[in-house]
Amino acid sequence: MKSFVFIFLFGLQLQLLAFNKPVDSLIAHIKTAKADTAKVLSLLELSKKYYQTGSLEETQQYAGQALVLSQQLRFKKGMAKSHTLLGIVARYQGHYVEALEHHYTSLKIKQEVKDKEGVSASYNNIGAIYWSQGNYPEALTCFFASLKINRELNDKPGIATSCNNIGLIYSNQGNYAEALKNHFASLKIRQELNDKRGISASYNNIGLIYINQKKYEEALKNHFESLKIKIEIGDSAEMTQSYNNIGLTYDYMRKFKEAEQNYLAALKLSEIIGDQQAFAYSCSNLGMLCSRMNKPAQARDYLNKALSIAWQIGSMEDIKFSYKGLAELDSACGNYKQSLDYYKKFIVYRDSLINEENTKSIVRTEMNFEFEKKITADSIKNEEAQKIKDAEIEVQQAQLKQEKTLRYSLFTGLSLIVVFTLFLFNRFKITQKQKRIIELQNRTVDHQRHMAEEQRVLVEEKNKEITDSILYAEKIQRAIMPSASGFSKIIPNSFILFKPKDIVSGDFYWIQETSEYIFYATVDCTGHGVPGGFMSMLGTALLNEIINEKKIYEPADILDLLRIKIILALKQKGESNENKDGMDMVLCRLTKDFKELTYAAANNPLWIIKQDGTTLKLQELKADKQPVGINAGNMLQFNQHSFALEKGDTIYTFTDGYADQFGGDKGKKFKQKQLQGTVLSIAHLPIEGQYSLLDKKFENWKKNLEQVDDVLVIGIKV
């Protein structure tokens, strides 16, 4: 079981309008209103009202209309508030990349118009998304930034929200004392303000800490208080969390009937309002509960559904606990091998979310914030002392003012005399200067000629240094990659056609042998040259770690974990302006007797040519249309396929460089269809002959044109 932590986003408090019209009145007003800023504010007010009732589709619809009109009017405040609402809806739908784009856009606009309160709210909303992704240091940085601004503004509601969210991070790290300290501070302010929505959130989060401390009666008390307020204000979007947390508490108390009733209530409500993360969480809870109630079929159905949705929305927390639930279920059913596989995955994702570096980053963030508070306090004292000094200086300045006036009169007269003298002297100098200019121009031409020669020599030296460095990088890359002969020792009847576009390649191949299997990969990294070379070395190191250290042998699981490690290594956050570095690849696992091929593929397919009577037929094995790395769409689990092999079958894996090469008589692309025809025509030949003909075909096609990309083709004959 796990504790669902609900982040209450006070950043949603948009201060849209001074009036508070009902929904029907707002809709009628919008239909007849002029296309001005007042209509934008009405659209935003209507969008907010739909959000508060859990109607996410209508929230998105009217916020989108407000954004379009704001852009037409160049109404920056309307644009910022529209992006905020759209970002919050995207987060509830599990579209974290889209949500971050909206909130960062809103933050930028608020900073431009110097809306400090809005900036604080944006930091809270951005922090909430990082929290959902398990990026706790970034989340805490955002929450502390919000708290700092709120204290400067003496914004009590904002301070309450920031304390609440900081408490959530401490709770996730197991620091319950600091978590409760922040939550009670938040609750006190919200009670003073009679902020019902905020009070409900504080009760919710305090209840979760009591669950972790095994104080179940206290936990139930707080969760029922939270639910009571949410029902009172009609907050459907947040009622799902209360039902889940009440169910969780009963679950721990082993009151399974009461737990199931509350989990099902949460599941039904989250499905109605379209809250994907809450739906995944409810499925996960029901799956683990059914497992304990000895309902294995229902348990597996719920857990698989939770895992699928968690992968779609990129929720690392829900991925982690779905794997844990499946591990416990298979252990209870006696499927110990499958249970161990799932438990390994749980450990991997748990370690990715909570590790030593995350904890250190959080401590550093907290220390930086405390230091900034001290600096601020000192600056206030200094400011008071400075005021006294300024008063004394003002008196002295008044006395000096009269003396300065007298001096200025005298200086003005003298200055006129000096200026007239200088004018006469300047006319005399101009004649001499013109003569010297001609002499200097001649010298300048000689000097520039000399400088150009020096620059030419310098450029040649720098080019040589850069080329030497790249050549050394090539040696490192070649040393890390297996040689063609080394590859052939493990898979004897094979060839590798490897033609880098530049000295260093973004394509690479990899092979690893265990006691049971042979793994090999054909990989195309983002870019080519030096950037691609760095990615290839990162990919090789991570593949070795996953196979040799983590002992993960299923190709789809390897690609899933490789993607997570690449995202973490490159610190990718899904922001619109960051590089989407990653890899397209085919990862194959062969049994030692070469009778079975199991593979998982990202974007690039693989081909198998089999003997069908007297003819050869090519079968294309499809790939998942997503890279190994961050991407703009939903991240889904990679699929895995197994294929029976027979003697004489030929397997081809490749990157896109061969098919994308321009050439031939008309300078067109080679294309995959022509490549299929080529391999079909040579598949009957010995492996060495296939390599020679493929190489020759490529060079004849390219002729004198530039090679457009790295080229990699691997062929294996069974």
| 153-188 confidence digits (pLDDT tens) | 999 988 998 899 899 888 888 889 999 999 999 999
pLDDT value at residue 173: 80
pLDDT band (50, 70, 90) for residue 451: low
Q: Which of 444, 464, 480 is the last residue of a domain?
A: 480
pLDDT band (50, 70, 90) for residue 588: very high
> 99 in helix, strand or coil?
helix
Q: Which helix (H) or strand (E) holds 23?
A: helix 23-32
Residue 359 reports pLDDT greater than 60: no
Mean pLDDT, residues 687-698: 92
Residues with Cβ < 8 Å from 117, sequence gap 6 or more?
15, 149, 153, 155, 158
Model pLDDT for residues 250-302, shown as the tens digit of each residue: 999 999 999 999 999 999 988 888 888 889 889 999 999 998 898 999 989 99
- 417 and 489 in a single domain? The answer is no
Q: Is 214 inside any structural domain?
A: no
DSSP 717: E
**Residue 347 to residue 338: CA distance in whole angstroms:** 14
Q: Is 377 inside any structural domain?
A: no
Q: Which amino acid is at 37?
A: T
Number of domains present in the structure of the chain? 4
Residue 587 reports pLDDT greater than 90: yes
- 677 and 713 in a single domain? The answer is yes
pLDDT value at residue 30: 86
Q: Is 360 inside any structural domain?
A: no
pLDDT value at residue 429: 58
pLDDT band (50, 70, 90) for residue 453: low
- 317 and 405 in a single domain? The answer is no
- 495 and 463 in a single domain? The answer is no
Model pLDDT for residues 81-106, shown as the tens digit of each residue: 999 999 988 887 778 888 889 999 99
CA 52 to chain centre: 28
Contact 670/661 with Cβ under 8 angstroms?
yes
Residue 490 reports pLDDT greater than 90: yes
pLDDT value at residue 375: 41
Contact 488/691 with Cβ under 8 angstroms?
no
Give the whole-number percent of the chain exceeding pLDDT 70.
77
- Looking up residue 139, the CATH number of its domain turns out to be 1.25.40.10
- 396 and 539 in a single domain? The answer is no
Q: Is 651 inside any structural domain?
A: yes
Phi, psi of 599 (to 5 degrees): -145, 160
Phi, psi of 512 (to 5 degrees): -150, 140
Contact 535/478 with Cβ under 8 angstroms?
no
> 136-150, 291-305, 374-388, 507-521: lowest mean pLDDT where?
374-388
DSSP 627: -
Maximum Cα–Cα distance for the chain, whole Å? 114
- CB count, 10 Å around CB of 50? 20
Contact 587/594 with Cβ under 8 angstroms?
no
Mean pLDDT, residues 618-644: 87
**Enclosing domain of residue 467:** 391-480
Residue 425 reports pLDDT greater than 60: no
Mean pLDDT, residues 307-326: 83
- 451 and 511 in a single domain? The answer is no
pLDDT band (50, 70, 90) for residue 54: confident
Q: Which of 106, 126, 155 is the last residue of a domain?
A: 155
> 197-206, 297-306, 348-357, 634-643: lowest mean pLDDT where?
348-357
Mean pLDDT, residues 31-41: 88
pLDDT band (50, 70, 90) for residue 16: very low
- 517 and 600 in a single domain? The answer is yes
Q: Which amino acid is at 5?
A: V
Q: Of 253-267, 379-393, 421-435, which one has max mean pLDDT?
A: 253-267
The larger pLDDT score, comparing residue 53 to residue 125, is at 125
pLDDT value at residue 4: 38
Residues with Cβ < 8 Å from 302, sequence gap 6 or more?
283, 284, 286, 287, 290
DSSP 66: H
pLDDT value at residue 53: 75
Q: Is 376 inside any structural domain?
A: no
The larger pLDDT score, comparing residue 449 to residue 695, is at 695
Residue 642 reports pLDDT greater than 90: yes
Contact 693/682 with Cβ under 8 angstroms?
yes
Q: Is 28 inside any structural domain?
A: no
* DSSP string over 574-609: --TTS---EEEEEEEEEETTS-EEEEEEES--EEEE
- 454 and 592 in a single domain? The answer is no
Give the whole-number percent of the chain exceeding pLDDT 90.
40
Q: Which of 124, 155, 186 is the last residue of a domain?
A: 155
- 494 and 626 in a single domain? The answer is yes
pLDDT value at residue 12: 38
* HSE-up (13 A, CA, CB side) for residue 234: 7
Model pLDDT for residues 540-559, shown as the tens digit of each residue: 889 998 998 888 899 999 99
pLDDT value at residue 6: 37
Q: Is 534 inside any structural domain?
A: yes
Mean pLDDT, residues 524-537: 74
Indicate the average pLDDT of the chain. Answer: 81
**Residue 334 to residue 176: CA distance in whole angstroms:** 36
Q: Which two tokens stand for residue 642?
A: 């197994």
- 539 and 520 in a single domain? The answer is yes
> 80-89, 129-138, 240-249, 699-708: lowest mean pLDDT where?
129-138
Mean pLDDT, residues 511-534: 84
**Residue 429 to residue 316: CA distance in whole angstroms:** 78
The larger pLDDT score, comparing residue 72 to residue 423, is at 72
Model pLDDT for residues 212-239, shown as the tens digit of each residue: 999 999 999 999 999 999 888 888 778 8
Q: Is 146 inside any structural domain?
A: yes
Contact 103/66 with Cβ under 8 angstroms?
no
Q: Which helix (H) or strand (E) holds 513?
A: strand 507-513
Query: Tokens 């904890």 label which residue?
Result: 359
- 349 and 459 in a single domain? The answer is no
Contact 238/257 with Cβ under 8 angstroms?
no
* Closest CA relative to residue 166, chosen from 341, 324, 8, 356: 8
- Looking up residue 573, the CATH number of its domain turns out to be 3.60.40.10
- 308 and 320 in a single domain? The answer is yes
